[in-house]
């Protein structure tokens, strides 16, 4: 696809998840009393595993398919 957003959606989602994770980590480090609900932590874990796994597995499949 020649649509710029279609090419950038996976990296944008990956970076967004990483920034969200890092912001929670920093907030936890700055304020010891800060603790997000347990279900948010589980949701973030599942989303990050899915996003990172799909991104890197998808990129690997794309690279293998495009090789002659």
Q: Where are the alpha helices (DSSP H) in the chain?
A: 4-30, 38-66
Number of H helices, E strands in the chain: 2, 0
* Residue with tokens 């957003």, as numbered in its chain: 5
- Is residue 68 predicted with pLDDT exceeding 70? no
| 9-58 pLDDT per residue, tens | 888 999 999 999 899 889 888 988 888 888 988 998 999 999 888 888 88
Tell me the CB-side half-sphere exposure of residue 57, using CA atoms within 13 A: 6
Q: How far, in Å, CA of 8 to CA of 40, rounded?
A: 26
Q: How far, in Å, CA of 7 to CA of 13, rounded?
A: 12
């Amino acid at each position: 696809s020649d649509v710029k957003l279609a090419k950038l959606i996976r990296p944008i989602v990956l970076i967004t998840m990483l920034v969200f994770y890092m912001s929670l980590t920093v907030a936890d480090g700055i304020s010891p009393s800060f603790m997000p609900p347990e279900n948010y932590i589980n949701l973030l874990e599942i989303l990050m595993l899915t996003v990172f796994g799909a991104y890197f597995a998808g990129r690997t499949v794309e690279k293998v398919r495009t090789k002659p």
